[in-house]
A and B are shown apart, each in its own frame.
Chain A
Amino acid sequence: MSNMQNFSKGFFKENAVFVQLLGMCPTLGVTTTAFNGLGMGLATTFVLLMSNIVVSLIKSFIPDKVRIPAYIVVIASFVTIVDLVMAGYLPELHENLGLFIPLIVVNCLVLGRAEAFASKNGLIPSVFDGLGMGLGFSMALVMLGGIRELLGSLSVFGIQLIDMDGILLFILPPGAFIALGFLIAFINHLRKTT
């Protein structure tokens, strides 16, 4: 597979959220607004990229039987670094997302890519895979967050469109399931017809 394919497969063909259904916890939990989805997506992208790089470099030094704990230590370290750096230099964003940052550790997308891709491929393909998967994940979160924000509070990226109450259900957890269900159905329809 070429590097371009490694990069682009994360957006549509193997999109983490719509196709692989990975990382459902942050997907459903944080996407009450498009902005939260974007922040969560980009933080995950950074962790994914860094963990893919490190795992692809150290893969031959790690015995098979302890590879999962070793990868988790790598991932957890990068998540903590993101958490600390964000708290220190981007306090505003940290206030909104701080709760969800530690959740990245248990996002199976990150461990999934370390296990399924980075541990079997070299550095360069892993970089492209991490970036593509991460940005595809961000795209999915922004789409879901955008739809929920639009229907739930009638605003887009925090800008109020109509000064009215939206459909409360879409801000609440059930709305996340409903919106995600329709999005997956739509994406699957596109995948089948193209």
Chain B
Amino acid sequence: MAKKESTLFNMVSSLVVVTLVASTALGYVYELTKGPIAVAKLAKKIKAIDEVVVEYDNNPVDEMYKIPIDGSQDSLEVYPAKKGGKLMASAIRSFSPKGYGGHVWLMVGLFPDGNINNIAVLEHKETPGLGTKMGDTEFKNQYIGQNPESFNLKVEKDGGDVDALTGATITSRAFSQATQLAFDTYMKGGQHE
């Protein structure tokens, strides 16, 4: 079959047909994958909560509440983990806009008195092999069991107590900042029992 000539009508009609077919196919795939994507996201969230709080028997996702951040329009999501109605720990979804590649999202697990139980990395765009090491236990361990009241959440370069990752000081700063934000916001507006 000979090639179609490049008349205006041919060009417009062929582009319309191509884009129409493409968008129909994409709409179909989107509908098809919407369910599984939502399930995968929820599973990821629950996994992060499990990682940072202690034993619980309630449903933290259902009991989620929000605390507004000081001096900002945003608020943080808090997932309380309770056992027998008693608050054991809370998972706070916190962030810092100052990562090396934009926002860094963390799930910070705090005991009611503000002690850090554990921290999980949710989303980030840090450098693979450098900033991504913030998720390793080696780096996270220095936060565990600390209370930001006494543990200065700044990297050593800035006069704090955090031993920064080699080659990823900015990431370490963002990680500490997000933890600090979770602590400050939770101590001010969170449920403590």
Using a Cβ–Cβ cut-off of 8 Å, how many residues does chain B contribute to the interface with A? Answer: 35
User: What residues on B are CB-neighbors of A36 within 8 Å?
Assistant: 128
- Of B22-30, B83-91, B110-118, B185-193, the one contacting chain A is B22-30
Cβ-defined contact, A171 with B14, below 8 A:
no
**Inter-chain contact A58/B18, CB cutoff 8 Å:** yes
Chain A: interface residue count, which band? 20 to 34
- With a cutoff of 8 Å between Cβ atoms, the chain A residues found around residue B6 in the complex are 63-66
The verdict on A121 contacting chain B, using a C-beta distance below 8 Å, is no
Inter-subunit contact B33/A91 (CB<8 Å) = no
A119 — nearest CB in chain B belongs to which residue? B3
Chain B residue with the shortest CB-CB distance to A31: B128
Determine whether the beta carbon of A63 is less than 8 Å from that of B29: no
Q: Could you say which residues of chain B place their CB within 8 Å of the CB of A60?
A: 1-4
Task: Please choose the segment from B36-44, B72-80, B150-158, B175-183 that sits at the chain A interface, where 4 or more of its residues have CB less than 8 A away.
Answer: B36-44
Chain A interface, >50% SS class: helix
B18, A91: Cβ atoms under 8 Å? no
Q: How far is the CB of B103 from chain A (nearest CB, A)?
A: 13
Is the CB–CB distance between B36 and A89 below 8 Å? yes
Q: How far is the CB of B129 from chain A (nearest CB, A)?
A: 4
* Least CB distance, B172 to chain A, in whole angstroms: 16
Interface flag for A159 (CB, 8 Å): no
Q: Which of B19, B25, B37, B43 contacts A81 (CB 8 A)?
A: B25
With beta carbons under 8 angstroms apart, the residue of A33, A80, A89, A91 that contacts B128 is A33
- Among B34-70, those with CB < 8 Å from A are 34-37, 40-41, 43-44
Query: Taking the complex as formed, is A56 at the interface, i.e. its CB lies under 8 A from any CB of chain B?
Result: no
Residues of A within 8 A of B41 (CB): 91
Q: Measured between alpha carbons, how far is A91 from B45 in the docked complex, in Å?
A: 12
| Chain A residue at minimal CB-CB distance from B128 | A32
**Assuming A80-B26, A165-B166, A168-B166, is B33 touching A64 (CB within 8 A)?**
no
Q: Report Cα–Cα, A70/B167, bound state, in Å.
A: 44
A178 within 8 A of B: no
Contact mask for chain A residues 57-82; partner B; CB cutoff 8 A; 1 contact, 0 none = 01111111110011001101100110
Contact between B18 and A73, CB atoms less than 8 A apart: yes
Residues of B within 8 A of A (CB): 1-7, 10-11, 14-15, 17-19, 22, 25-26, 29-30, 33-37, 40-41, 43-44, 125, 127-130, 166-167
10 contacts between A and B (CB under 8 A): A61-B4, A61-B14, A62-B14, A64-B3, A64-B6, A74-B18, A80-B26, A85-B33, A91-B40, A171-B130
Give the top 10 A-B pairs by smallest Cβ distance, nearest first.
A88-B36, A171-B129, A88-B33, A91-B40, A65-B6, A63-B6, A77-B22, A32-B128, A84-B33, A88-B37
